[in-house]
Amino acid sequence: MKQKFFAVILTLAAAAAFGPAHAQQKLVPAQSEITFVSKQMGVPVEGRFRQFDGQIAFEPAKPAATKIAFSVDLASVSISKEADAELPKPVWFNTAKFPKATFQSGAVKALGGGKFEIAGKLAIKGASSDVVVPVTLTQSGAVTTATGAFPIKRLAFKIGENEWADTSMVADEVQVKFKLALTGVGKL
């Protein structure tokens, strides 16, 4: 249950990292994924979000001009049959009230070699937090792939409330991982 929640958070964070796009830039969902890893009683549990979208205007030559707005459908979380049924409930994602997690970029910093840091706001379940998302871009033909991973604290977003706030059962830290395929990005 907590693992599903973490997976959703990670997915949202990744989604937030690659938001609004230029008119010609598009996210290729079939070649993209947002996953997360949380620990339940010390055992890593991996999950994924099946539905996400973003508007991306990524300028490799002018990173300061980059704008990203990303959203993740929290109800699309997938861990296990049992967890998938629990995570939409109020104590976890509360998808009836907060159906999406969002990320809105702020500053983008080029680090060289196709590596960037994207600072922005991640919002999940009515709470928001500043995050810095490391991103590596690679290009193959017309497709640019953005990959990265970053940690979030689930309790900062009220994911797993009441008895589920006990971090001995479900760890507070969730590692969010993403691979996003994009078209229309300029040469690196």
Q: Does residue 40 lie in a domain region?
A: yes
Q: Is 135 exposed, middle or buried (0-12, 13-18, 19+ CB in 10 A)?
A: buried
Q: Does residue 188 lie in a domain region?
A: no
Beta bridge partners of 56: 21, 68
What CATH number is associated with residue 81?
2.40.128.110
Q: Does residue 59 lie in a domain region?
A: yes
pTM for the model: 0.84
Q: Does residue 64 lie in a domain region?
A: yes
Buried b (16+ CB within 10 A) or exposed e, 71-96: bbbbbbbbbeeebbebbbeebbbbbe
Q: Does residue 46 lie in a domain region?
A: yes
Q: Does residue 177 lie in a domain region?
A: yes
Number of domains making up the chain? 1
Q: Are 17 and 118 in contact (CB under 8 A)?
A: yes
Rounded distance, CA 107 to CA 78, Å?
31
pLDDT in tens, the chain (188 residues): 444 444 334 434 444 444 333 346 899 999 999 999 999 999 999 999 999 999 998 888 889 899 999 999 999 999 999 999 999 999 999 999 999 999 999 999 999 999 999 999 999 999 999 999 999 999 999 999 999 999 999 999 999 999 999 999 999 999 999 999 999 998 88
The whole domain housing 100 covers 2-183
Q: Does residue 37 lie in a domain region?
A: yes
